[in-house]
Amino acid sequence: MQAKWGKSKSWTVLLSVLIILALVVSACGGSNNKGSSSSPSASASSSSPSSSPSASGEPEPSASESSAPAEKVTIEFWQRSFEETTNKWFKKYVDEFNKSQDQIQIKYTLVPGEAWDQKMKASQAAGKAPEVYTMNYGGIANAAKLGQILPLNDLMDPVKFDDIYDNVKEFITAGGKYYAYPKLVEPSAVLYYRKDLFQAAGLDPEKPPTTWAELLEDAKKLTGKGVFGFSTAQVAGDLGWSSWGLQFGTSGHEALTSDWSKADINNDAYKAVFKFYQDAYQSGVMPKQALAPYPDMKPYGEGKVAMQVNGSWAIGQLRNSYKDKLEKTGIAPMPSQSGDPASATATLGGWTLVVDGKAKHPHQAADFISYLLAGDPAIMIDFFKTSGFSKFSARKSVDEAMKSDPDASKDAWRALIAEKIIPNSKAEPIYPWDVSMAVSTGIESAMKGTSVDKAIEKAEKTINDFIANNKLAGTNPKQ
Amino acid sequence: MFKKNFRHDNLAAYAMLTPILLGSTIFIIVPFAYAIYISFYEWGFYQAPVFVGFKNFYVNLTDELFTKAIWTGLKFTLYVLPTQLVLGFLFANLVKGLKGKFASFVKAAIYIPTVIGLILAGVIFLFIYDYLGGLANYVVGWFGLEPIAWLAEVRTALPAITVPAIWTGFGITTLIMLAGLLDISESYYEAAEIEGAGTFGKMRHITLPLMRNIILFLLVTGFTAQISQFELPWVITNGGPVNETATPNFYILQHFLNDVLIGRSIAAALMFFVVLGAISLVIFKVLNSEKAVDG
C-alpha cells in the first residue's frame, strides 16, 4: 500500500514538473516573438491555469508599462570598443542625448573588438541586431548591397550631408545614396621615428627617409643594442589593411580590376610591394616575430624600435601612455617606392554610424546619429580633443570651428598629417576582405621565405578562385 | 491486475524517455538536420536563401586552405596525442609507486593545468613565446643563441602551440591511466615475478593488455578533442604564420564570421564531421574493445 502511494506521489511530481516546464517554455516563446508591445500575449498567459504563479507573474509589469501613454522608444546602440577616451566620449554623449529629450532612450552597449563579429552574427541570426551601430568605411558598400543597413537620405536632413568633405562623401555612398554618417577619418600609415636615435646613428633627425631604399638603409644603421630599426605589420591579418596604401601608391590601382572580374596583382608594381616587405623582414631590421599587433604603439613606446609605421591614432597612445618619448619623436609620411610626396602610402580608414536594415524605429535611430555626429560641432571637437588630435574630421564645419580652438590650431603633428598625408591618402577598398587577405597572406609568405613571384602567383590564384566561387565579377557596388 | 501493471510500466518508461528524446530532438536532431539543409543553400541573415546543390561542398573541397586545415588538425593531433599518452603512462606508473601524502600532493599537482583551461594556458604561453621578453627566448639566450620567432616561423609555430595542449591535457590523462593501473590485480604481477618475468615483460604482457580499454578510451576522446582544437590557435597565433596553425575548427569559424553567406562554413563543418567520424571508426576497429579478462 505504501509503495503504491509512493509511486503515485512521484507521478504527480513528475507530471507537475512537466506541466510547469511546458508553461515556462511557451511563455518564453510568446514574449520573444512579440517584442515589447505584446499586451495580448501577456493577458493570454495570465489567464492560463494558475498552477505556475511564476510564469503568469512575469508578463504583468511589462503589460502595464507598454500601455503607458507616453511612447518612449528604446533604441539599441552598439559601439565597437576603441581607445578608452573614445569609449568615454560615446558614453558621455549618449547620456547627454538621453537627458536632452524624452522621446528616445538609447540603450548603449560597448562591444570588445574581438567579440564584435560573433556577437553581431548571433544577434542577426536571432533577428535582434541593434538598430544603430558602428561600421567602418570599408564595410558600407557591401552591407548596403545586402540590405543590412538603410539609406539615410530620407531619414536625415540633407543639409547634414552637404557638410561632409567630398572625398569622404564617396566613402559612404552606394548606388547614389548615403548609407552611413561619418565620424572621423584617420590615415592608416604614418612614420614615427626617434630623433635621438637618428642623431646617435649619425643620421639627420630632420630628414626622415622618403623612399623605401632610404628607409631600409636608415633602419640598418638604427638596428643594434636591443633596438630594431624598423617595425611595421608582419602578419597577414595586419598586412591585409595596412598595406593598402602602398599597394595603391605603387601600382595606381587596387588588387582587383575595377569590374571585380579578376585579380590585378601579377605586375611589377605589386611585386615591388611584396619585395619591399620581404627585404624589410629578411634584412634583420625588423623583429622576426611581431612585438605587438600593428595598431599598437607599444614597441616604439617601450623603446624597442627606432622607427615604427602606425596609424595616426598612435599619436593618442603616445600622448597618453608614453609621454617620455614625445619630445624625441618625429613624424613623417610613410616613405613610398619613388619618394614622390604625392604618392599614396596610406588609406583613410574611419568609422561611421549606420542604421540596421531591419530597424523598427529608423527615424529615431537616425535622429540619434544626427545629434551625435552631425549636430553641434562642439560635440565632435570634444572628441578630437580627447583623442589628442590623432583623428581627423569628416565635416567642414567642425574643421572650421576648430581653427578658432587654441589647442587644435597650434598642434604641429595635426597640421603635418592634415596637410601632407590625408590629401594623398586613398579610400579603403570595398571588395571583400578575403581578397585583401589573399594579398597579405602572399606578402607574409614572401617575408617568410617564399619567392616573390611564387607568392604573387598563389595570391592571384586564390583571388581568382574566390571571384569564381562567389560570382564576384561585375558586382562592384560602386560601378 | 497484471495487465494494468504492465501498462503502468510502459507509461513510466515513456515518461522517463521523454526528457532525453525531447532534449536530443531539440538540441541534436533538429539542428543537425537543419545544418544539412542549410549546407545546400547560399544562406545569409538578410537575404532569401538560394539553393545551390553541392556547390558549398565543392568549393570547400577545392579550397587548398580547407584541406590544409584538416591536415593541420591531423598533424596537431599526431604531435599531441602520442606525447600525452606516453607521458601520462610513464607518470601514472611513477605515481602508482608513491605512498601517502606525497602521492596525493603529486596527483593534485599534475591536475592543476587541466583546471587552468586552454584559453588561460594560451595566454600564458603567449607570454612565454614573446620574442623579446618571453621565457622561452630567455632560456634560448643561456646557450648564447639568437632569439627564436616561435610563433612567426613556419617551422616552429605548430609545434609551439602543441606544448600548452599537452600541458593542459596531461593531468587528466595521467589520472585516468592511474585508475586503470590500480585496477589491475597485484596477483598477476606476483605470479609473473615467481615465473621470473622482468619489469619490461610484466609491462608488455600484463599491464598493456589490461589497459587496452583505457587506452582506447583515451585515444578516441583525445583524438576528437585534439583535432577539434580551436582555442590555442585563436588565442596564440590567429591561425598564422601563413595559415600554418589554422585547424579545421579555426577555419570553419573564420569563414562563419567573415563570410556574408554562411552555407559554406556549415558545409565545411559537416565535412569535418565526416572526417572525424571516419577516423574514430578506424580507431575502434583497429583497437577492438573487449571485456577485461578477469571481469
* Tens digits of residue pLDDT in A200-211: 999 999 999 999
Contacts with B44 from chain A: Cβ below 8 Å? 146
Q: Taking CB atoms and an 8 Å limit, are B242 and A14 in contact across chains?
A: no
- Find the closest chain A residue to B148 by CA distance: A288
- Is B258 touching A (CB cutoff 8 A)? yes
Surface-to-core class of residue B195, CB atoms within 10 Å of its CB (0-12 exposed, 13-18 middle, 19+ buried): exposed
Q: Taking CB atoms and an 8 Å limit, are B153 and A14 in contact across chains?
A: no
Q: Taking CB atoms and an 8 Å limit, are B46 and A445 in contact across chains?
A: no
Q: Taking CB atoms and an 8 Å limit, are B15 and A14 in contact across chains?
A: yes
Determine the residue among A278, A289, A298, A441 to mutate to test chain B binding: the one whose Cβ has the most chain B Cβ atoms within 10 Å.
Answer: A289
Residue A444: which of B44, B241, B258 has the nearest Cβ? B241
Residue A236: which of B45, B151, B242 has the nearest Cβ? B242
- Find the closest chain B residue to A4 by CA distance: B5
Contacts with B132 from chain A: Cβ below 8 Å? 226, 287, 291, 304
Asked if the model's pLDDT at residue A228 lies above 60, the reply is yes
What pLDDT is recorded for position B204? 87
> How many Å apart are CA A377 and CA A399, to the nearest integer?
9
Q: Taking CB atoms and an 8 Å limit, are A148 and B15 in contact across chains?
A: no
CA distance A108 to chain B (A): 23
- HEC string for A173-207: EECCEECCEECCEEECCEEEEEHHHHHHCCCCCCC
Contacts with B153 from chain A: Cβ below 8 Å? 288-289, 448
**How large is the C-alpha radius of gyration of chain A?**
28
Nearest to B69 by CA among B268, B248, B250: B248
pLDDT, tens only, A26-39? 444 333 333 333 33
Indicate left, alpha or beta for A389 from its phi (over 0: left) and psi (-120 to 50: alpha).
left
pLDDT, tens only, A121-167? 889 888 889 999 999 898 898 889 888 999 999 999 999 999 998 87
Contacts with A433 from chain B: Cβ below 8 Å? 258
Count chain A–chain B contacts defined by CB atoms under 8 A: 74
Per-residue pLDDT of chain B (295 residues; tens, 9 = 90+): 455 555 668 888 888 999 999 999 999 999 999 999 999 998 877 778 889 999 999 989 988 889 999 999 999 999 999 999 999 999 999 998 888 889 889 888 888 988 888 999 999 999 999 998 899 999 999 998 888 999 999 899 999 999 999 999 989 999 999 999 999 988 999 999 898 888 888 888 888 888 988 998 899 899 999 999 999 999 999 987 989 999 999 999 988 888 878 888 999 999 999 999 998 888 888 876 665 444 4
Q: Taking CB atoms and an 8 Å limit, are B243 and A441 in contact across chains?
A: yes
CATH class of A189-345+431-469: alpha beta
Three-state DSSP state, A341: coil
- HEC string for A425-463: CEECCCCCHHHHHHHHHHHHHHHCCCCHHHHHHHHHHHH
High-pLDDT (> 90) share of chain A, %:
57
Residue A287: which of B131, B154, B242 has the nearest Cβ? B131
Q: Taking CB atoms and an 8 Å limit, are B149 and A288 in contact across chains?
A: yes
Contacts with A147 from chain B: Cβ below 8 Å? 46-47
Q: How many CB atoms lie within 10 A of CB B241?
A: 27
Looking at domain B59-286, its CATH architecture is Orthogonal Bundle (1.10)
Report ipTM for this prediction: 0.81
- Is B278 touching A (CB cutoff 8 A)? no
- Find the closest chain A residue to B55 by CA distance: A469
- Nearest 5°: phi and psi at A399? -65, -40
Q: Taking CB atoms and an 8 Å limit, are B63 and A465 in contact across chains?
A: yes
> How many Å apart are CA A383 and CA A402, to the nearest integer?
12
The helix (run of H) or strand (run of E) holding residue B78 is helix B64-97
Tell the residue number behind the cell numbers 491555469, with chain if given: A49
- HEC string for B206-270: HHHHHCHHHHHHHHHHHHHHHHCCCHHHHHHHCCCCCCCCCCHHHHHHHHHHHCCCCHHHHHHHH
pLDDT, tens only, A302-336? 999 999 999 998 998 898 899 999 999 999 999 99
Q: Taking CB atoms and an 8 Å limit, are A235 and B153 in contact across chains?
A: no
- Is B149 touching A (CB cutoff 8 A)? yes
Three-state DSSP state, B42: strand
Contacts with B238 from chain A: Cβ below 8 Å? 235, 237
Q: Taking CB atoms and an 8 Å limit, are B240 and A236 in contact across chains?
A: yes
Instruction: For residue A191, list its beta bridge partners.
Output: A309, A332
Q: Tell me the average pLDDT of chain A.
A: 84
Contacts with A18 from chain B: Cβ below 8 Å? 18
CA distance A43 to chain B (A): 28
Q: Taking CB atoms and an 8 Å limit, are A444 and B154 in contact across chains?
A: no
What pLDDT is recorded for position A1? 40
Three-state DSSP state, A270: helix
What pLDDT is recorded for position B81? 95
The ranges assigned to domains in chain B are 59-286
CATH of segment(s) A73-186+349-410 = 3.40.190.10
What pLDDT is recorded for position B257? 83
> How many Å apart are CA B239 and CA B229, to the nearest integer?
12
- Find the closest chain B residue to A124 by CA distance: B45
CA distance B105 to chain A (A): 39
Residue intervals of chain A classified under CATH 3.40.190.10 are 73-186+349-410, 189-345+431-469
- What's the whole-number mean pLDDT along residues A69-92? 88
Contacts with A237 from chain B: Cβ below 8 Å? 238, 240
Asked if the model's pLDDT at residue A72 lies above 60, the reply is yes
What pLDDT is recorded for position A231? 95
**CB-CB contact of A231 with A310 (8 Å):** no
Q: Taking CB atoms and an 8 Å limit, are A18 and B151 in contact across chains?
A: no
> How many Å apart are CA A469 and CA A198, to the nearest integer?
50
Q: How confident is the model at residue A20 (pLDDT cuts 50, 70, 90)?
A: low
> How many Å apart are CA B72 and CA A366, to the nearest integer?
47
> How many Å apart are CA A292 and CA A350, to the nearest integer?
21
What pLDDT is recorded for position A97? 95
Q: Taking CB atoms and an 8 Å limit, are B152 and A441 in contact across chains?
A: no
CA distance A331 to chain B (A): 25
Asked if the model's pLDDT at residue A52 lies above 70, the reply is no
